[in-house]
Structure 1
């Protein structure tokens, strides 16, 4: 199963949508590189769609996302009367495809990026970086069984009703809000599968505990007792999910909280260290320098 992974923000944005109804024998059109994502949601019947060398059978209550950079075609005609919603969307951010055989990064519009070439980074840090904010991943299965098909159809009908007034800014804003809820519904099918993994659940519980108690003294033994998992198992789960140990996760979170205090308060460095769970100010300063490349005082001076 291919997973489309979007780096957000910016969020994918709605372009246009509609409802198609066809009789038995309908064949999806043959198209090349349409430059937008095409979300197909089957309401009745079944669609038989090909994308490059793969074929999909999309039944009622299912959805398929066709990529903007591929060849799409009807693999066979509909065997019964079929109705489906279609929705075009795009993103100005980056997106990638994760599959069993490949993981290729693309930019919006379908331009391939060589994985060996690093993206250019501005010399000036983004303002968001001061707050520890960065893009996160929105993961959508390319072929989706809808968890709440009735709710998605309700949202699509609302989009249809807004079409006649889409020239109004307030209506276009409303369209984007409705589309984001559709994305949330589509993403839920993946999240439900991931939350069913004990390993993922353990890592997420550990992260929640660390974030809630970061001001306190936390040991691996205390973490294990609180979650009722062995500390070694917790560490393995967090490394798999977050790429770091629980102690490393805690350290990074404490440093992110300290950055907010450095910016928003005039507290002395020693007090900030204490506020975020460090027993000794020198250890806080050395940890900050290691992660951020500058001292806490130099970081604060950026905003003076």
Structure 2
């Protein structure tokens, strides 16, 4: 079972603590809890049930109990069991998927991936420049829009770095007496977000196919070297994959070839320079990897619908 949380908004921390069960004790029977409950076992084994599912949460493992489900201890602990609990929630949509199929909660369900690379992979023709669209409606510049993404958290998993997870939980415990101070909630949220990253990392370890990993590796290389001269041959040599295979992987993952991806990313970087600097168009073209200012301007017009100078004038 994978828990999908749409962000923004990010899930938010509520409270946490530590508890120990001696042998012969079990987790209480409860329902109608309106928050997520993250359980992490430091030692021993916690036997938990959620509706019809049963879990044996052992040392270094975590379980996320979903809101408004029937939660209960499925059997007594056979040894002393030390575990942490953490309550969190979200005001955004979330869903779960697994062998039983997708199931959604809160507002609308999250049905597909939204790539965090940016809204510049939108379909062509969508008005995004702050100019009147159909019906005279003015559209917000996509440069100022939040880039949505999905958090994918395994409901039940082993943590690759249990020592770090326990350190974060200990820090949250030490902050509890200061929860009334104005600066504490932000510190708690920062610690919690690192925990979310660890949980997502555990999920992604076995999720990505070789093709997706190749596409993401290529995208990272292109972003890191966008100002340099890049060819399909150089990309293949640097990644140790055949250029045709890289192109196939990127088309499947991003819907475009590596060179088109690079071109669009260069244009995005040029827009930042047009807004934030007084550089000439020719210098900006050179800064983002274009050999020719005229080719840069023509490409900018093709992708953005206006020239670089027209784009800049919108912010002056």
Normalising TM by the smaller chain, what interval?
0.7 to 0.9
Could you say which residue in structure 2 is the equivalent of 1:72?
71
TM-score normalised to structure 2 length: 0.79
Could you say which residue in structure 2 is the equivalent of 1:175?
188
Change beyond 3 A, Cα 1:136–1:231? same
1:251 has 2:242 as partner: no
Give the stretch that moved more between structures: 169-178 or 258-267. Answer: 169-178
Could you say which residue in structure 2 is the equivalent of 1:222?
234
Could you say which residue in structure 2 is the equivalent of 1:264?
276
- Offset of residue 232 of structure 1: 1.5
1:278 has 2:290 as partner: yes
Q: How far apart are the structure 1 equivalents of 2:300 and 2:96?
A: 35
Q: 1:116-155 alignment to 2 at 5 Å? A: 124-125=139-140, 129-130=142-143, 134-155=147-168
Change beyond 3 A, Cα 1:101–1:253? farther
- Offset of residue 303 of structure 1: 1.2
Q: 1:6-155 alignment to 2 at 5 Å? A: 6-100=5-99, 102-104=101-103, 106=105, 110-113=106-109, 124-125=139-140, 129-130=142-143, 134-155=147-168
Q: How far apart are the structure 2 equivalents of 1:111 and 1:275?
A: 43
**Would you say the 8 A contact 1:22–1:81 is kept in 2?**
yes
Could you say which residue in structure 1 is the equivalent of 2:222?
210
**Would you say the 8 A contact 1:131–1:260 is kept in 2?**
no
Change beyond 3 A, Cα 1:63–1:272? same
TM-score normalised to structure 1 length: 0.81
- Offset of residue 75 of structure 1: 3.1
Per-residue Cα deviation, 1:133-172 (whole angstroms, up to 9, x for no partner): 6133332211110122222222212222221221011222
Determine which of 175, 183, 196 is the counterpart of 1:162: 175
Give the stretch that moved more between structures: 235-244 or 178-187. Answer: 235-244
- Offset of residue 181 of structure 1: 2.5
1:233 has 2:245 as partner: yes
**Between Structure 1 and Structure 2, how many residues are aligned?**
293
- Offset of residue 300 of structure 1: 1.9
- Offset of residue 80 of structure 1: 3.2
Change beyond 3 A, Cα 1:239–1:77? farther
- CA RMSD in angstroms comes to 3.1
Give the stretch that moved more between structures: 157-166 or 23-32. Answer: 23-32
Unaligned runs of 5+ in 1: none
Any idea what SS the aligned residue of 2:241 has?
A: coil
**Would you say the 8 A contact 2:94–2:110 is kept in 1?**
no
Any idea what SS the aligned residue of 1:32 has?
A: coil
Unaligned runs of 5+ in 2: 113-127, 129-136
Per-residue Cα deviation, 1:88-121 (whole angstroms, up to 9, x for no partner): 0122344333435534554xxx3454869xxxx9
Change beyond 3 A, Cα 1:112–1:94? closer
- Offset of residue 207 of structure 1: 1.9
Change beyond 3 A, Cα 1:81–1:55? same
Change beyond 3 A, Cα 1:68–1:213? same
Q: How far apart are the structure 2 equivalents of 1:183 and 1:233?
A: 33
